[in-house]
Amino acid sequence: MAYEQTSIDTKLIHAGEIRPGIEGAVSLPIFQSANFESVEGEEYHDIKYMRLSNSPNHTVLASKLAALESAESAFVTSSGMAAITAIFHSLLETGDHVIFQDCLYGGTYDYARREFARHGLTCDFVDGDRPENWSAALRPETRMIYFEAITNPLVQVADLSAVVEFAREHDLVSVIDNTFASPVNFRPAEIGFDLSLHSGTKFLNGHSDIVCGAVIGRTEPVAKVKKMMNYLGGSLDAHACFLLHR
């Protein structure tokens, strides 16, 4: 069943679910198996393996998250920072430049300021309320623009439609941290963002009992980021998938 036109409440309950339920179960069970039967000739990233984030718990949860944001694809990670760093390391090359909003989650800001240089990356920070000034930060090597839907912790909201327009005009990958808004309040794919990410520890989960992350968006960039995560090993365990799914 397609859920494009249904309410977000219906998507929360039904999107991505395995039907009919396994052995008649109305709730997806926890698949604790680390390994699964494989098919001869499967490509490395398609082999069913817990670290590759493609167990039934992973895939059902990812499908649900993609549906909630009206996006094409998604996958989950062991933390929000795992999602963030995998995006940088999969979509940027040595010498590339990123434009950041000047009010960011501390972990993202610290990583950009302290670690980018070690990987040959550079960045500049812009005022999210002044899109007319963003062009001044552009360089020939600029490849990405990165904002937050609602900033953590100062709850600032930038002109997000202008971010998408700016990215399209200058052929940049548009990335947004949608943690504080959540899919209930904002769905970045609907206005054209390439990727959104979450620290699922916060509003996606809501119970302060797991640490997790998510990457959601267009199929092509999501697949690139997931392949990098497969190498880095930042997968989410089956129990945490179950808790976030519930």
List residues with catalytic annotation.
51, 105, 177, 202
What would the two tokens of residue 71 be? Answer: 């996006």
- What's the first-to-final CA gap in the chain, in angstroms? 20
What interhelical angle do 80-91 and 219-232 show, nearest 10?
110
C-alpha separations of 128 from 21, 156, 161 in Å = 46, 9, 11
Q: How far apart are CA 135 and CA 131, in angstroms?
A: 8
Question: With 0-12 CB in 10 A as exposed, 13-18 as middle and 19+ as buried, what is 176?
Answer: buried
Per-residue DSSP letter, 63? H
Q: Is 60 left (phi over 0), alpha (psi -120 to 50) or beta?
A: alpha
Residues 6+ apart with CB under 8 A from 17: 28, 60, 64
Amino acid sitting at position 188 = P
